[in-house]
Amino acid sequence: MIHEHFHLLLLVICSCSWAASAYGADNDFLHCLSQQSHNYSSFSTVVYTHVNSSYTSVLQFSIRNLRFESESTPKPQVIITPRHESQIPPVIYCARQSSWEIRTRSGGHDFEGLSYVSQLPFVIVDLIGLSDIKVDVEEKTAWVEAGATIGSLYYRIAEKSPVLGFPAGFCPTVGVGGHFSGGGYGTMLRKYGLAADNVVDARIVDVEGRILDRKSMGEDLFWAIRGGGGASFGVITAWKVQLVDVPEIVTAFTVVKTLEQNATQLVHRWQYVASKLDQKLYIGVTMIMVDATFQAIFWLHFLGSVEEMLPMLQESFPELGVVREDCSEMSWIQSVVYFSSAPFRPSSPEQPPEFLLDRTLFVAPNAKVKSDYVQKPIPESGLEGIVRLLNEAGGEGAMVYTIPYGGRMAEISGSTTPFPHRAGILYKLACIVSWLGDEARDSDMYMSWSRRYYRYMAPYVSRNPREAYLNYRDLDIGVNNVGGKTSYAEASVWGKKYFKSNFDRLVRVKTVVDPHDFFRNEQSIPPLLSRYNIKKGTKMHASETVDGDVLSLIM
């Protein structure tokens, strides 16, 4: 029956001569799947090719950057939406047999489209069907499949307990797969660190099609996927996370200041305060133009009551002038709703938490993002330059925002996970420019503005290397060998920015678990010896080199 079903499928595909000629390789891939799958009749319900009427809607559903939704954007030969992790090994095997790349997508919040665009023939493994969440209140843990959103994770936690939470991101439609594997930050990072810091187990399908957990994958690979980007090492199907304690009452507020209200002076003062506040207190800033008026929006999240928070703030940051009437007390899950539109505008905490389950909330514009880390306060003159940039053509679509560090972020060693931006960082600085126009001149203007902003910020941010956040991937930085394999030397240009000295350890892990560089994209971790099958424990002489790669790294 399996083969009869497959032959019927092929007959339908081949009935159109143009489809047979254009997508002949698809047939080879599908035939391979039929041979590898124990129950292809059920497997075929999660396979989408160009001749499927729902192919385009499945492809577009999770795209969150319209720059990669144009007709000229390369499209996958096949999309797979597995319903069980056991359906992934045949896809890996058949992609290798077909010399196709795999791009893994869990939510689509991907600023460079690397999870759903490739210049080579490729298949998308879209994990949207793997979205189960199991919360264990007694153990204070949760298993969450990689295609679930962080909004659904928050909702399922709050459904079970009002005093448990998880320190991940703002936007509820972000998929946990990419979010956790790149770090993942939110309003509780100063108290509990990143999402990746609170991962205690995971399941991954490796290049050989083996389904591994923490014990079977080993501590090196487990280290690598918690901040090093999972797509370089395999297909992560699920994470086990440690939940954290939250009080029954938390406090939030948003205060807006204009230039006439000393906005730049307040942002300047904020730099000296935010990283030194109590770990339970988070204050971020968004700088933006609204109707040609500069605004500095101060966001506060406090794990406790207004009465506990106000004395702290009035002592440390009285210049902000916050009074009790500015603040709102709410439950933790209500604060998640409140911050779900950050760093744009607050949502109403009165909105029912069920809206966190909606994957379609985010309106996708064209977007480009830049990220930096600030180690010394930017002088007022530097902040005034940001205001001038926001007033230029293209700046009206931009937003510059900060994520305060200190607290727990300064206590965790920079080598505990691949995410290295820890002690010595005052705050993360990011700029996203977005636009709705689809004409080339619109894109050129906004992209040019983004790059001009990045050049302007160089004197004020970290250097040697100029650090960047992996989850805000930026193909402008470093050398990207599009459509081919990237050498260690090429990749280290951007790799050191994302990972600093942790990059070399990531390369060693990659060389062991995926020596032929099957799992790759324009900014994936490269193996040192893609031509050799390096096994764990292999010893090399420090003098040996291949294509200029220093083999002493894998000793």
Query: Is residue 342 in a domain?
Result: no
Q: In this structure, what are the phi and psi dihedrals at residue 211, rounded to the nearest 5 degrees?
A: -95, 115
Rounded (5°) CA angle 107-113-114: 95
Residue 343 pLDDT exceeds 80: no
Q: pLDDT at position 286, please?
A: 97
Structural domain including 240 reads 133-245
386 three-class SS:
helix
Whole-angstrom distance, CA of residue 508 vs CA of residue 498: 16
266 and 393: one domain?
yes
What mean pLDDT comes out for the span 231-245? Answer: 98
Residues 123 and 137 in one domain: no
Q: What percent of the chain has pLDDT over 70?
A: 88
Q: Which region among 9-13, 130-134, 171-175, 360-364 has the lowest average model confidence (pLDDT)?
A: 9-13
Q: Is 433 in the same domain as 313?
A: yes
> How deeply is 11 buried, as exposed, middle or buried, from its count of CB atoms within 10 A (0-12, 13-18, 19+)?
exposed
∠ Cα 506 219 152 (to 5°): 90
For residue 356, is pLDDT > 90?
A: yes
Is the domain of 83 the same as that of 34? Answer: yes
Can you tell me the mean pLDDT for 357-368? 87
- At 137 the pLDDT is 98
SS3 12: helix
Same domain, 404 and 263: yes
Look at residue 293 and give its three-state secondary structure.
strand
514, 542: one domain? yes
| 18 and 84 part of one domain | yes
The DSSP secondary structure of 421-435, one letter per residue, reads --TT--EEEEEEEEE
Residue 537 has pLDDT above 50, yes or no: no
Contact 285, 271 (CB under 8 A): no
> Closest Cα to residue 493, out of 451, 461, 460, 526?
526
Q: Token digits for 453?
A: 């902003």
Across 29-51, average pLDDT: 86
Determine, yes or no, domain membership for 402: yes
Cβ–Cβ < 8 Å for 375, 426? yes
347 lies in a domain? no
Per-residue pLDDT tens digits for 190-210: 999 999 999 999 999 999 999
Contact 249, 334 (CB under 8 A): no
Same domain? For 207 and 322 the reply is no
Same domain as 118, residue 96? yes
375 has pLDDT over 60: yes
Mean pLDDT computed over 341-346: 70
* Position 474 in a domain: no
Same domain, 289 and 410: yes
**To which H or E segment does residue 414 belong?**
none
Can you give the CATH number for the domain in which 63 is found? 3.30.43.10
CB–CB of 226/240 below 8 Å? Answer: no
Specify the amino acid at residue 115.
S
What would the pLDDT profile of 413-466 be if each residue is shown by its tens digit? 999 999 999 999 999 999 999 998 766 678 999 999 999 999 999 999 999 999
Q: Report the percent of the chain where pLDDT is more than 90.
A: 81
Note the pTM of the prediction, 2 decimals.
Answer: 0.91
The 10 Å Cβ neighbour count of residue 463 is 10
The confidence band for 321, taking pLDDT boundaries of 50, 70 and 90, is very high
Question: Among the listed ranges 54-63, 79-88, 290-299, 546-555, which one has the minimum average pLDDT value?
Answer: 546-555
In the predicted structure, residue 61 carries a pLDDT above the cut 50 = yes
Question: In degrees rounded to 5, what are phi and psi of residue 202?
Answer: -160, 165
pLDDT of amino acid 482: 60
87 and 45 co-located in one domain? yes
Within a domain: 496: yes
What is the residue-wise DSSP string for 437-502?
--SHHHHHHHHHHHHHHHHHHGGGS--SS----GGG--TTSS---TTS---HHHHHHHHHHHHTTH
> Does 12 have pLDDT greater than 50?
no
Residue 477 lies in a domain: no
Q: Which of 100, 128, 156 is the last residue of a domain?
A: 128
- What does the H/E/C string look like for 224-248? HHCCCCHHHCCEEEEEEEECEECCC
CATH number assigned to the domain comprising residue 203: 3.30.465.10
- Specify the residue for token string 């940051």: 317
CA 226 centroid distance within chain: 12
In a domain, 68, yes or no: yes
Q: Which residues are catalytic?
A: 472
549: nearest Cα among 484, 499, 491: 491
CB-based contact 198:166 (threshold 8 Å): yes
Task: State how many domains the chain has.
Answer: 4
Instruction: Please say if the pLDDT value at position 374 is more than 80.
Output: yes
State the chain's mean pLDDT as an integer: 89
Q: Which pLDDT score, from 0 to 100, does residue 37 have?
A: 81
Quick: pLDDT tens for 465-477.
999 999 999 999 9
Q: How far is CA 299 from CA 187, 361, 547, in A?
A: 9, 21, 49
Paired with 301 in beta bridges are 252, 282
Give the model confidence (pLDDT) of 482-503 as tens digits: 666 788 999 999 999 999 999 9
As a whole number, mean pLDDT of residues 302-319 equals: 97
Say whether both 57 and 162 belong to one domain.
no
Q: How far apart are the C-alpha atoms of 183 and 177, rounded to whole Å?
A: 11
- Three-class DSSP category at 543: coil
- Res. 363 pLDDT band, cuts 50 70 90: confident
Whether residue 344 lies inside any domain: the answer is no
Distance separating alpha carbons of residues 257 and 285, to the nearest angstrom: 10
3-class secondary-structure state, position 291: coil
Q: Is the peptide bond before 343 cis (omega within 30 degrees of 0)?
A: yes
Q: How far is CA 450 from the centre of its chain?
A: 20
- Mean pLDDT comparison of 31-35, 133-137, 357-361, highest-scoring range: 133-137
At residue 24, the pLDDT reads 61
Q: Is 353 helix (H, G, I), strand (E, B) or coil?
A: helix
DSSP state string for 319-349: GG---GGG-EEE-HHHHHHHGGGTTT-PPPT
